[in-house]
Every structure is written in structure tokens, then in C-alpha cells.
Structure 1
Amino acid sequence: MDYATLTSLKPSEFEDAAGGYRTVGAMASEAKDDVESQIIAGMRKTVDGQAVLEGEAAEAAVVQLRKLATNFHYTQVECALITTALNSLAYELRAAKDKLDAAVEDAEAEKFTVGSDGSVSYPAAGDKVDGKVPEGGTVTGSAKGKPTNQPIDPTADANDTADALERQAANIHPNPNYGRAVAIANRIAQAIYDATQADEKWAPKLRTLKADDDLTVAAEDWADAKGDTGGVRSGAKEYLDEIKPPPKDGDPKSNADWWKGLSGQEKADYISMYPDSVGKLNGLPADVRDEANRAVFEEKRAEYQAQYKDIPEEPKPKYVPSGRTMRYSDEWLEWHQKYEGKRAHLKSALDGMKAIQKRFDRTGEDGLPEAYLLGFDPKGDGRVVLANGNPDTADHTALYVPGTKTHLGSIDGDLNRGATLWRESQALSPGDKISTITWFDYDAPDQVPNATSDKYAEKAAPNLREFLDGNKAAHEATTGGAAHTTVIGHSYGSTVIGDAAKYRSEYADTWSDPLPADDVIAAGSPGMQAEHAADLGIDPDHMWAMKAGGTGSDDWFVREGGRNVGLGGNRVIPTDREFGGHVMESDSSDHGGYWNVDEHQKPSVSLKNQARVIVGDYKGVTLE
């Protein structure tokens, strides 16, 4: 870039272009939402359990519409990247342009002339030498690059040396204008250099922000999007540093206030550049977290699919003769050691992602509302927090915490329980807005013996407590009030709730800050680490418990096992009268049957009682 180009440059034109891409991205986002929550949901509509539209043609149309929604989502993500890239380019060019304009203004004040090549001419001045005033002249500046610590400049002091030489030259020059002209010329050269660097940095990055020339958004495209995000984020560091970051270790209220204080563009930049961080921030609006987490979801799914595909096929034969017996082949043992654990993890994670996608695709089925992905992480056993309906605007919100053996690969059943709770609650209170959340954001015990320890619940407590606080903060920021909230713990999940009720966060006013929930339900609970509901700060009139089967059932073993190993305070568990809560009627015959419906979709007594609590119909609850 030269002097004339930078002089005529208008950074606002790049910002205008960024605004155009932002508009396109917003339109793509709205189109995606319309396709998923309006068109597909409308096609999935049922009347008396019978689909309004069905058949091969209808299913084929739904498949194509889902692909279209994916295309819109990808467009939204890429447009957000381009918007940030263009704004960052404009930011860097404006900084360079401001440097240039300031240097030219100072030159004019000194009565210097700036040439078309950026050189600076200065007039004669100074004490006479041999009877003549020292003549004027023209100087060309030089820019300083950043220290490189390369062999040619091992001490990284070349710029300092150059500055010292220039000062020395100015001091001995007979014309006092010389030094000032050199300084201004250097500023002009530096501005041109900075603008050139910005142009050379962003031109190739912007060229890479384009999709394939087909209509299919494949895993490779999402993998590219993740790489694009990293490239734009590293290039836009100075621009992004101008945006106020979220409070370090902030509580949900602080997070909500931080988000509220950002401009629309700053919010868009933060979502596109830091989706993983935004998606985890309790207190932010549900639709914001959903947008961020869905981007992470698509990128992680593409990454895991690629890794799974790259694992070599299992060698055959697995066994080879060894005397009169058989042994594992050397090739299989080598493969097993190197790949089996990784393959099992990837498959489990991909199965979980498939279940999440299936829930996305079920929007509209039997009236099921839009899903909000409020948390997602495939590492380890995985993490999923998914809401049916927007909890920020709900009149009634229920949060379901699963128990032992839960992991990402098995999350399908837990997501179905959340959807079942929504359907029955909505049926009981059709005039209200309902949101039911499957909350799996902790390391659940992998085996029943591990569930005898409270350490898993104790570690999970801060996560659950802060999510509930964040849910309350987001709802208050949206509606000005709080929703009626019910927390449901199944099995060890109820132990997690007990520890969350006792958890004192760093920002809590007192140890006994009540759990931000109106009602608590414990289904098949092995104990909540307390002797009485009141010990947890829970009003006994709003503590509910259920049990399944008779003596010797799997549910009985869970409850009595928890009692005997100490998960129940002083061997008291929630279904005991002395715990102080209500014991609801249940017709479940086993530990996992609390959410059953029959072949005619008629809800079980257990499910109906939970739904009555969720919508606040306490008089309708049937007790043992």
C-alpha cells in the first residue's frame, strides 16, 4: 500500500461491508429457525397422535428441509467470521489512517510539504553558515517492524539503535527543521507500513472464508469453519482486545450484566470468536448459549467423525493358533492398545451427538417446542444440557438431573425423559409456557459401586447451583421476574441436588442461601446427604419423593443401598416419613420407570404426579 492509497482510504467502507455480511448472517439465522421451528415443525404436527402429513414424500421433504437448515446455519457461522474479519481489518486500517492524518496535520503546522510518495519537504532555517541560512530539503521516512529476535538482530534492539542514530543526525544537522521532518516522515512511513501489514494479513484470510461450490455442508466444511475461526481470532487479537471480556470467574448475575453492556456487534463478535466460552456462561440468554453451543456441536461432530474415520479397521484374524490353544494376534494386540480406547470414546460421543441431533429434528413432533442446547462438551464422559422450550420466557421450568452410569453415549433416554416431562406438563397446563431441561453437566459414577461415594455429587454441586442461579438471572433479565422452578433428581441425581442445596458459592450471601428452586422431586433416591429436607433449606411442603416396586426391586436396592452406605443423612432417605417431604404415589415397577407412558401414550401415575408439581397443581398430586 502506498501513500496515495492510504490517504484516500475509507475504513468505513469495510465496516459497511461487515454490516452487510452481519445482516446476511442474521437473515440466515432467522431462516434456519423458521425452517426448523415453523416449517418442519408444522409438517411434524399431529392431531390425536396422528401425523397430519405422512408418507415417503413428506419424509423426503423433511430430509431436504433439514439440509437447508444446515446450509443456513453454516452461512450464519461463516458470515459472522467474515463480519469480524472485516471489522478487524477496518480497525487496523483506521488506526493506520489516523496515524497518517495526524502526521500530515503536524507537517502542515510546521509549514512542511508532504509529497505524493509520502516524503516530507522542509524549508530553509537555522543559523547562517558562511553567510547562508541552511537550505531546506526532502526526507523519506522509514518504518520500524516489530522486534524479531532473529540472528540478524539477536538482542532485538535494532529499532533502538536506529532511533539513536536519527537523533544524533538531527542534533548535528544545521537545519533544525531536518529532525522534525524526519520524525514526521517516519510516522508517515510507519502508517503506510501498518496499513500494508493489515492488508497482507487479512487478504488471504478473507479469501479462505468461502464454502465449496456445492449445496452440501459436509463434516469437512465444519472442520474448515473451526480452522477459519482460529485464523480470524488470532488475526483479530487487537480488535477483539478492545471488547470488554467477561468477568473472570464471574457469577451468573455478573455474566448477565456483562452481556447486557456489550453492543450488538460486540456480542456477535464474541459468539463467533469464542463460542465455547459463551456457551458455558451461566446467566446469558438461552438463545445466545444455544447459538454458541450449536456451532461448537457442529465443529466437534465433524472433528470426531474425521478422527473415527481415520482409525484403521480392526485387524483380522483376531486370534491365531498357539500350540493347542489360541492367542491374540500381534497385529490385533497392537491395534487394540493404540486404537480401541479411542474408538470406544469417539463412538460413544458420536452416539450422543446423534441423540442430540435427533432431538433437534423432533421439534414440532406432538407439539414439541424448539430445543435449546445450553451446554455441550464431548470430552471424557461428555456433558449435555438441553432445554425443551425457552427457559428464559417460561412460566414453569423443570430441570431433570440423571444419575449413575449416565454418559454422552447414553443420553438419548434422558433427553426423551425431558421431552416426556414437557408433553405431560404442557397437557396439564396448556395456557402456560413450559420448559423442561435435561441437565447432565457432571461426572456421574460409571458403576453402581462408585455411586456409594458422595465425591461425585460434591464435585457436581457447584455446577448445578450456578446453572440454576444463571437460569434465574437470565429469566429475570428477560421478563423481570422468576419462573416457577422444579428440580428433579433421579437416583444419584438426587444426591447431586442435595449437595447443590448445601453448596455455598463464593458469591452467596450466607451458607444457607436457598436453592433457587420452588420444588424438589427425588425419584428412587439413595439419599440427599441430609436427615431432613429443612436441613437443605428446602421447604418440606415443596419436597417430593417417589419410590418404585416393592422389596427386592432394583429401585429398593438403590434406595436401601444408599441408606446403608451413608448417602442418606443418619440413614434417612427422602421416601422416609421423617425426612419431612411428601411421598407421591408411583406406579413404576422398576428404577427407570418413573417417566413411562403406555402404548396409547397415556401417562403413568408417576409421570403425571411430577407434571402436576412442575405446573404448581399441588392439590392434584396423589400421595401414598
Structure 2
Amino acid sequence: MPAGGTRPAGRPGAAGGTRPPGRPGAAGGTEPPGRSGAATGGVGYAQLWAADPAAWRAAGAAWAGLTGLADRRSGALDGAAAGLRDGWSGGAAGAADTRLVRLRAELTTLRPALIEADQALAEFAARLAAAKARLAAAVALADGSGVLVDRHGRVRADPARPATERAGPAAARVAAAIRDALDLAGAADREARTRLDELSAAAGTGWVDAPPPGRPAPGGGPALVRAWWAGLTPAQRRWLVAHEPGLVGHLDGVPIAARDQANRLLLGAWRDDLLTERSRLLGRVPRGPAEVAGLLRVGAALSGLDALDARLAAPGAPRAYLLGLEPGGEGRAVVALGNPDRSSRVLTYVPGMTAGLDDAPGELGRAGRVLARCGALDPGAETAAVLWLDYDAPDFLHEAVWPGQARDAGPALHRFQEGLRATHEGPPARQTVLGHSYGSLVVGTAAREHGLAADALVFVGSPGVGVAHAAELGLPAGQVWASTAADDVIRLARPPDELARRALLGASPLGATAGVAGGHELWFGRDPTDPGFGARTFPSGRHGHTGYWAADNPALDGMARIVLGR
């Protein structure tokens, strides 16, 4: 039995699936028994206190881990069928071949179901963790305000305290906070049971069904894509995930869960493509500079893909969702930590110069650090963070001083943010888009030229965002934020025309900037931290151009508070 006293199975029980021990941890000075009756009639106070979200996450990861086994079995059946065709003919051979083909098809459609089970259990675990955090906050409030919590989760003023020190209105606040935590846990439990029941029932008859002809046009709006997807039956959606993952995985407007299932099914094929390219390059003799550069690029992409695959398979929180991957060129990736469709606050992080597939795991770690700080500041919040690396980032300084790659990225970032709005469940989430370095120009250009579905924009270490004033970005006053460290070299960046003039005088672009501190104009317009730009600023410690995510940097707190809406 896991340490928290839970015994997760394929589906949680009616009360969070927990089996609390006889004496769970103290809550507000009381020792709840193993079975506590909650006034809400759902998940009990003691049950929630003892619940172990990590065990549910591990159970989900175990289901997802079976996809590799299903894939290997499918490949073995394919090989067996090919062998039969070569050496056996006749009616029996034809029947056997048909049966093997059907078995392989069944295994193909099983793989997304295993991923779907993992999603359901991981999201149940995430909501259970949020409910536990809210319960802990309620107990802390009780401890600090003279309120006792009994074994059933009921509250009352502490009679041992003098009348002048008794809780008064605090008891009502504590009771409301406990009810809120138990309600969230109960809702999570009911939803998980429903999702897993539906998954189990669908596995009988009518599991998959080919959809009617017609697919969304390339570049179609996310709202139209969402309407098309909503018009399909669950069986038709499963067919598309299993048989057209390349379409489903890249369509903004398809729900996050389906995109994740589709893209995970493609991981093996993407890795095979990189291995094939590496073999081709290794076979070229003699190898010139282009082949050597290609080998280095492919090796870096393989390393990044393997690290990303390991993160996707990890059972720890938060669960990762693969929303897009392109291993060609420098490589691109879109990965979410937590499900944006089910979170009340969503961060989209756009990295800057040199970012590629090999950098994706590290860049995802930066998004994860903001998410972790959000959890520390508001443990009960349901928050997700997305690494959006779906553009060709500049590799060298002479590329980074021009805005062309940012302009090219604008339509894709616009569509992605619109897609998050279109697929979100429940009330709209607070969406924050964060750009670092050249990524801040990508964000600013997209906002100016296309509009961004965002409630706040954040720029850190920015060389300018392509506008002269925050009002040009299309957001309400007070929802554009910026921070640049005092020792960030980006402060020395001058406009390209000025760099060109200095270069003509015999100085290199970097050397030309060294003596030009101060001023308001950077490579791409006014410094967004300058008062004249009109953004709100937040502090950063002296951590250079890449240290905004350092644990002791106040900028990390600033970014997290903006995401939370504080």
C-alpha cells in the first residue's frame, strides 16, 4: 500500500479511492478516524487528508507505459503477416492474414486508450493535490484563529480561549474553506469515475468508427476546428487519433488531451526519421562541412528528443502534454505542464535566440520553475504552463538583430492562443504570455499584428518588442509587464542601423555596443522597462541574461504573481 494509505486501481472509488489509515495526520489539533463522515456527503475530511495523489499519478504512468508493449506486439504481428504472405497461399492463408491485420488494428487503437487512462488518472491526481492544499490552508487558518476542527471536519470556537480571543467570524471562514476543499475533491472523484467508466464501456462495441469525409482546411481558425471536432462522436475522434495522428496533433482547436495522445503516438516515427537521417549522413564519404554540421544537428535533436521523451514518461507532477513536435531543421516543440484546458491560469512561455529541439527540455524546465513558484504562492490553484517553441529562433547574433523570424512566427502564436481559448473547459482561464529575449519580440509582434488571446503579457530580458508603447499591444492598461536585470547585456543592444554605422567605423557589432549604455531605444524599439513605454515593471536580481528563473531571483516571484493574477 502506498505511503499515503491509498490503493489506486484502474478507477478510483466513490470517495477519492482512498483508504485512510486509522490515525491520519493531525488536522487543527484533532485526530480524525479512518472513516469520517463529511457533511457534504462526498469525500470525507479524513479521506482527503490521507489521500496520496502521487500513487494515482504512478498508476496512470503505468497504463501509459503499456503503449510500448502494444507497439512492439503490433510490429511483431506485422512481421508475421508478411512472412505468411511470402510462403503460404490459399483460403486459409487469406483468412489468417485478415485476422492478423485485424489484431494489429486493435492494438493500434488500444494505444491512445492507454494514454487516455493516464490522462484521466493524472488529472484526478492533480485536482486531488489542489484539494489537499486547500484543506491544509483551511487547517492553518483554523490554527491561527482560535478554531477547532473535529473528527468530522466540523468547526467551532475553542472554548479554552478567553471570550475576547475566540474566533468569531473566523469559524465560518474555516468551515467554508473546508467545504471548498471537499467539494473540489468530490467533483474530481466523480469526474474521474465517469471518464474511466466511459473508457471501459467504449472498449466493448463501437470503440472506433471512421469519421465522414472532410477535414479542416490547413490554417483554419481554431474556433472552426473546435466546432468540427465537437461534431464528431467519441468513436470517430478515437479513430482520427489512431489513424491520422499527424493531423490531430497539430490542429489548434483540437482539445489538449487528443493532441497529446496523437503526438505521443508519433514519437517513435520521429525518432526513426532522425536515425535514418543520421545513417545517411554517416554514409557520405568524404564528409564536407555541411555534412558535419548536419550530423551535429541530428545528434543534438536526438538528444533533445530522448530527454523530452523521458519527461513525458515521468510519473511525477505535473504531467506533461505533447502538443506539437517537429524534428526537422533545428527542431520545434510545444509542451504543456498540466492540462491548459482544465486550468484556471495558463502561462505560455516563448523562448529566444538559439532555442531548438535540443534546448526544449531545459526551456521546459524554466516554464516548470514558474509553475512551481505559482504552486508555492497559491497551493490550491489549478495552473498550467506551456513551452511554445514553434518557430525558427535565430541561431546567431547577425540573425537576431532583424525581426523577420519574429514576424514569421506571429500567425502561429496567434492561432495557438486562440486554440487555448477555444478548447478550454469551464469559465475562461487567465492566460499569460511570457517572452524572453528574442521571444519577447515574437510575442510583441504577434500581439501588434495579429492580436493575442491573453490577459497579460510579460517581457524579460527584452531587446524591444516591436512597438513604441505598451498601448499598441492591444491589452488593457496595467496588463503589460517587463523586467530586465541590471547586469543583462541586452541593455547594451542598440538599433541595427546604429550597429551598422559603428561596424563601418571598424568596430564589431558587440564591441560597438560596449560603450553605449543608457538610452531608450534597443534593437526593436523602446526598452519595455523604460517608464515612457507604459508597461508595469517588476524587479530582477543581478543574474545576467538567462538568470530570471533562478530560485533566489525576485523576478521568478514576479512572473508567478502575474500568472496568478496578483
Which of 413, 430, 441 is residue 484 of structure 1 equivalent to? 430
Which of 470, 479, 502 is residue 448 of structure 2 equivalent to? 502
2:348 aligned counterpart, secondary structure: strand
1:457, 1:522 → 2: CA distance?
14
User: Residue 488 of structure 1 aligns to which amino acid in structure 2?
Assistant: L
1:277, 1:557 → 2: CA distance?
44
Distance 1:383 1:594, change over 3 A: same
Say whether residues 1:287 and 2:239 are aligned partners. Answer: no
Q: Deviations over 1:78-136 (max 9, x none)?
A: 89999xxxxxxxxxxxxxxxxxxxxxxxxxxxxxxxxxxxxxxxxxxxxxxxxxxxxxx
Say whether residues 1:264 and 2:234 are aligned partners. Answer: yes
1:498, 1:403 → 2: CA distance?
13
Distance 1:429 1:267, change over 3 A: same
Say whether residues 1:407 and 2:359 are aligned partners. Answer: no
Distance 1:471 1:209, change over 3 A: closer
Q: CA RMSD in A?
A: 3.7
- Shift in Å, 1:576: 1.1
Which of 342, 347, 351 is residue 398 of structure 1 equivalent to? 347
Query: Superposition pairs for residues 119-134 of structure 1, below 5 Å?
Result: none
Q: Which residue of 2 aligns with 1:452?
A: 401
- Shift in Å, 1:570: 8.4
- Shift in Å, 1:515: 2.2
Q: Deviations over 1:521-544 (max 9, x none)?
A: 100111111111101212231111
User: Residue 579 of structure 1 aligns to which amino acid in structure 2?
Assistant: F
- Shift in Å, 1:580: 0.2
Say whether residues 1:348 and 2:297 are aligned partners. Answer: no
1:72, 1:295 → 2: CA distance?
12
1:292, 1:275 → 2: CA distance?
4
Structure 2: state its 5+ residue gaps. Answer: 1-8, 18-57, 77-90, 108-208, 501-520
1:369 aligned counterpart, secondary structure: coil
User: Residue 269 of structure 1 aligns to which amino acid in structure 2?
Assistant: W
Distance 1:311 1:571, change over 3 A: closer
Distance 1:363 1:399, change over 3 A: farther
Q: Which residue of 2 aligns with 1:535?
A: 472
1:521 aligned counterpart, secondary structure: strand
Q: Which residue of 1 aligns with 2:563?
A: 614
Query: Superposition pairs for residues 430-445 of structure 1, below 5 Å?
Result: 430-445=379-394
User: Residue 285 of structure 1 aligns to which amino acid in structure 2?
Assistant: P
User: Residue 387 of structure 2 aligns to which amino acid in structure 1?
Assistant: T
- Shift in Å, 1:355: 2.5
User: Any conservation in 2 of the 1:247–1:254 contact (CA below 8 Å)?
Assistant: no
- Shift in Å, 1:498: 1.0
Say whether residues 1:515 and 2:452 are aligned partners. Answer: yes
2:61, 2:561 → 1: CA distance?
38
1:541, 1:292 → 2: CA distance?
39
Which of 273, 291, 295 is residue 243 of structure 2 equivalent to? 273
User: Any conservation in 2 of the 1:286–1:392 contact (CA below 8 Å)?
Assistant: yes
Distance 1:269 1:79, change over 3 A: farther
- Shift in Å, 1:589: 2.5
1:462, 1:369 → 2: CA distance?
29
Q: Which residue of 1 aligns with 2:86?
A: none
Q: Deviations over 1:161-213 (max 9, x none)?
A: xxxxxxxxxxxxxxxxxxxxxxxxxxxxxxxxxx99x97995564476699xx
2:74, 2:383 → 1: CA distance?
31
Which of 256, 262, 270 is residue 300 of structure 1 equivalent to? 270
TM-score, normalised with respect to structure 2: 0.60
Say whether residues 1:577 and 2:514 are aligned partners. Answer: no
- Shift in Å, 1:578: 0.8
Say whether residues 1:334 and 2:283 are aligned partners. Answer: no
User: Any conservation in 1 of the 2:463–2:490 contact (CA below 8 Å)?
Assistant: no
Distance 1:284 1:586, change over 3 A: same
1:487 aligned counterpart, secondary structure: strand
TM-score, normalised with respect to structure 1: 0.55
User: Any conservation in 2 of the 1:487–1:517 contact (CA below 8 Å)?
Assistant: yes
Distance 1:397 1:207, change over 3 A: closer
- Shift in Å, 1:347: 0.8
Which of 365, 379, 394 is residue 328 of structure 2 equivalent to? 379
Which of 537, 555, 569 is residue 490 of structure 2 equivalent to? 555
2:530, 2:239 → 1: CA distance?
53
Q: Deviations over 1:60-80 (max 9, x none)?
A: xxxx99996565123566899
Task: Report the identity percentage.
Answer: 29
Distance 1:76 1:289, change over 3 A: farther
Q: Which residue of 2 aligns with 1:246?
A: 216
User: Any conservation in 2 of the 1:563–1:571 contact (CA below 8 Å)?
Assistant: no
User: Residue 585 of structure 1 aligns to which amino acid in structure 2?
Assistant: P
Distance 1:207 1:412, change over 3 A: closer
- Shift in Å, 1:454: 0.9
2:243, 2:298 → 1: CA distance?
26
- Shift in Å, 1:352: 1.4
User: Any conservation in 2 of the 1:32–1:73 contact (CA below 8 Å)?
Assistant: no
User: Residue 392 of structure 1 aligns to which amino acid in structure 2?
Assistant: D
Q: Deviations over 1:548-569 (max 9, x none)?
A: 134xx423234x4579579859
User: Residue 286 of structure 1 aligns to which amino acid in structure 2?
Assistant: I
Q: Deviations over 1:350-383 (max 9, x none)?
A: 111122123224442xxx3111111111011111
1:31, 1:402 → 2: CA distance?
38
Question: How many residues of Structure 1 are paired with residues of Structure 2 in the alignment?
Answer: 380
User: Any conservation in 2 of the 1:563–1:573 contact (CA below 8 Å)?
Assistant: no
User: Residue 549 of structure 1 aligns to which amino acid in structure 2?
Assistant: A
Which is further off, 541-550 or 486-495? 541-550
- Shift in Å, 1:482: 1.1
User: Residue 407 of structure 1 aligns to which amino acid in structure 2?
Assistant: G
User: Any conservation in 2 of the 1:77–1:295 contact (CA below 8 Å)?
Assistant: no
User: Any conservation in 2 of the 1:545–1:574 contact (CA below 8 Å)?
Assistant: yes
1:397 aligned counterpart, secondary structure: strand
User: Any conservation in 2 of the 1:530–1:569 contact (CA below 8 Å)?
Assistant: no
2:216 aligned counterpart, secondary structure: coil
User: Any conservation in 2 of the 1:452–1:565 contact (CA below 8 Å)?
Assistant: no
Distance 1:200 1:69, change over 3 A: closer
User: Any conservation in 2 of the 1:495–1:528 contact (CA below 8 Å)?
Assistant: yes
2:259 aligned counterpart, secondary structure: helix
Q: Which of 1 and 2 has greater Rg? A: 1
Q: Deviations over 1:571-604 (max 9, x none)?
A: 412111111011211104300000012xxxxx42
2:486, 2:224 → 1: CA distance?
46
Say whether residues 1:586 and 2:521 are aligned partners. Answer: no
Q: Which residue of 2 aligns with 1:185?
A: none
Distance 1:450 1:382, change over 3 A: same
- Shift in Å, 1:392: 0.4
User: Any conservation in 1 of the 2:463–2:491 contact (CA below 8 Å)?
Assistant: no
- Shift in Å, 1:384: 0.6
1:571, 1:369 → 2: CA distance?
37
1:312, 1:380 → 2: CA distance?
17
User: Residue 542 of structure 1 aligns to which amino acid in structure 2?
Assistant: Q
User: Residue 447 of structure 1 aligns to which amino acid in structure 2?
Assistant: F
User: Any conservation in 1 of the 2:250–2:324 contact (CA below 8 Å)?
Assistant: yes
Q: Which residue of 1 aligns with 2:513?
A: none
Distance 1:262 1:199, change over 3 A: farther
